[in-house]
Amino acid sequence: MTEAVRVSIYIEAIERSYPDFSVRSIEPHTPGQNNDVLLVNDAFIFRFPKYAEGIDQLATEVAILKGIGDYVTLPIPQITFKQLATRTVGQAFVGYRMLTGKPLSRETFLGIQDERTLEGLAHQLAQFLRELHQVPVETAIARQLSVSDTYDEWSTLYAHIREKCCPLMRADAQEWSTRHFETFLGDPAHFARTPVLKHGDFGTTNILFDPPGQVISGILDFGGAGLGDPAYDFAGLLSSYGDAFLQRCVTTYPEIEAFWDRITLYQSSFALLEALFGIENHDQEAFESGIEKYV
């Protein structure tokens, strides 16, 4: 199916569900692994799942966004358009008004030299995660959430990395991978914790920055949100903006110090997880990006 045909199907799906809403313009927005993301009328973001299982995932994300709105202070997507009753790919979607700002890329971040600005950004992001991690999930979210970051999950991931990634890696990189994952899995304390609501992909592409105001202007993409280890979200910050910035977050979220070792263990796993994703989903770009420093 050509892109033009696919887009025409999306337009038809939107206007069928919302006949009073006229699609005047539509263009691809940020690329997504699980969704086609489109900018409509230069004002709205629409997301169409690429796979049937992504429809349920999007429904969970909608429930999370609705449930956390009263608990977090940074802007998040407010769902305006929704068609998730169908199981047909190309017909299911959600839409929301585009948030202001642009992704806080590593390049943009490194260009910020003012100490007060950096402290302010650290406070905003740490405060958001504190609010998110304290959401009373059972009463706030009208959907049962799965638990991630468990021993079984990481054991399975390690087995897949050994099978699919390690044969492609240098000998010393294979040895490092074995030590890394067996150290993580060998300490029961890494899994003896109460799950909280985590974002799950807390990094450069999903953190919006307002250059004129020099502040965080919103948080995107809760598709990976669920119950898990709060350290995982801070591993995303560490990977995106470095150790010194994460240290700034401790003032607002002092519990970081108690799970610093888990933060670094997660962060050190990200590249191989990306390589594994690339192998399992035939995504050559993701594979090459993740495996690069190990070959």
* 52 confidence band (pLDDT: 50, 70, 90): confident
Residue among 141, 146, 147, 134 at smallest CA distance from 62: 141
Higher pLDDT, 217 or 189: 217
CA 61/CA 224 separation, integer angstroms: 8
Instruction: Identify the band that residue 169 occupies on the pLDDT scale cut at 50, 70 and 90.
Output: very high
Instruction: Write out the two tokens for 251.
Output: 């003032």
Residue 137: how many CA atoms within 13 Å on its side-chain side?
18
- Is-contact 217 208, C-beta < 8 A? yes
Instruction: Report d(CA 119, CA 115) in Å as an integer.
Output: 6
CA dihedral 34, 39, 44, 47 (to 10 degrees): -10
Mean pLDDT throughout 67-86?
A: 96
pLDDT band at 1 (very low <50, low <70, confident <90, very high): low
Measured CA distances, 220 to 216, 217, 290 (Å)? 12, 10, 23
Residue 30: predicted pLDDT: 75
Q: What is the mean pLDDT of residues 166-170?
A: 96
pLDDT of residue 96: 97
Per-residue pLDDT at 156 exceeds 90: yes
Model pLDDT, residue 28: 86
| Contact criterion met (CB below 8 Å) for 34 and 209 | no
User: What is the model's pLDDT at position 6?
Assistant: 85
Q: Is the pLDDT of residue 53 over 90?
A: no
Is a pLDDT exceeding 70 seen at residue 113? yes
Mean pLDDT on 30-54: 89
Mean pLDDT calculated for residue range 109-114: 96
Distance CA 166, CA 291 (A): 10
pLDDT band at 229 (very low <50, low <70, confident <90, very high): very high
pLDDT at 59: 94
Look up the pTM and report it. 0.92
Domains and CATH numbers, the chain: 3-97 (3.30.200.20), 102-294 (3.90.1200.10)
Q: What is the mean pLDDT of the chain?
A: 94
CB 218 within 8 A of CB 104: no
Mean pLDDT, rounded, for 270-287? 93
